[in-house]
Amino acid sequence: MTATSADSMLRELEPSVERLLNRHLNVAQDWLPHQYVPWGEARDFDGPWGGDAWEPEQSALPRAVQDSLIINVLTEDNLPSYHFEIAIRLGRDGAWGAWVHRWTAEEDRHSFVLRAFLHARRAVDPVVLEDLRLRNMASGWFSRNWFTPLHTLAYATVQELATRHAHRNTGVLCGDRLGERLMTRIAADENLHMLFYRELLADAFQAFPDDAMTALADVLGDFRMPGVGIPGFGSRAARVAAAGIYNPAVHHEHVVAPLLRTLSVPAATGLGPVGRQAQERIGLHEEQLKSRAARARDLYERTRAGR
């Protein structure tokens, strides 16, 4: 795909970007992160102020919820990398640039408020969290196979929807009223971001059906959450999956299947040979995902039953 092709895609979709950005600004509710942190329940840590060191028994959160929140905050910390990757692919001028900067500003609230909440609640080891932050950000984050702007839109759509469910489920299982309220607030941001990208991707299907179908097939077949590079991600993600926060079943039932229905991917017509091949790849991928979800669900149930 040539740079000219990418430029034509961006030009063709820019009116949609402007329309969707205006809609987003009309419906988005600004909120103040500092209001969601229980500062009155916090106390000093050891260090210059002579407070108390963190101890594991101070955390009231289940282990899987701790793992999920660590993954969440470290993922949000890598916003500079995400901004760079998206800005160089979608642009920093016009409606595209206005959206990219607005999206970045809204996302930047999440890492601040999550870390402040974790510290105030003494929910996780702050020293370990800071060490992981430095190591994770030192590695950065790089997009996978984003050959066209449509790959960027497809990945962002899937990722935002997945993150929305991960945040919501973390809040439900945390057993902390304030924590659940915070995660619901963050999930609402992610939902609006998902709607922007999904509606833009829908317009791309109208303008570039073969390219859009190919981009979605590529992204779904190789999808990884942006936190995959976090040190220790595998073991934490396994506990998160077993707890039902985010696993293959959630990914299929609440992310992939609804997205394919909304975009009318299985019923799409007017495709050329390349588009039809991508459509078939998506259908095969969904069937494989169904099987993985069923196996994972059975494994989690047997594990909980002690078998």
49 is a domain residue: no
Decide if 25 is inside a domain. yes
Residue 131 domain boundaries: 3-34+58-304
Q: Of the candidates 164, 132, 158, which has an alpha carbon nearest to the alpha carbon of residue 146? A: 158
CATH of the domain at 191: 1.10.620.20
CA-CA distance, 151 to 143, in Å (whole number)? 10
41 domain residue, yes or no = no
Domain total for the chain? 1
Give tens-digit pLDDT for 215-270: 999 999 999 999 999 999 999 999 999 999 999 999 999 999 999 999 999 999 99
Q: Domain for residue 48, yes or no?
A: no
* Tens-place pLDDT, residues 77-129: 999 999 999 999 999 999 999 999 999 999 999 999 999 999 999 999 999 99
Q: Which residue type occupies 260?
A: L
CA dist., res. 128 & res. 74, Å (int): 12
User: Annotated binding site: which residue ranges?
Assistant: 76, 107, 110, 160, 190, 193
CA quadruple 259, 264, 266, 270: dihedral, nearest 10: -140
**Residue 43 belongs to a domain:** no
195: tokens are 């709607």
User: Which residues fall within 8 angstroms of residue 30, CB to CB, at 6 or more apart?
Assistant: none
Residue 175 lies in a domain: yes
Binding residue numbers for Fe cation: 76, 107, 110, 160, 190, 193
pTM of the model: 0.94
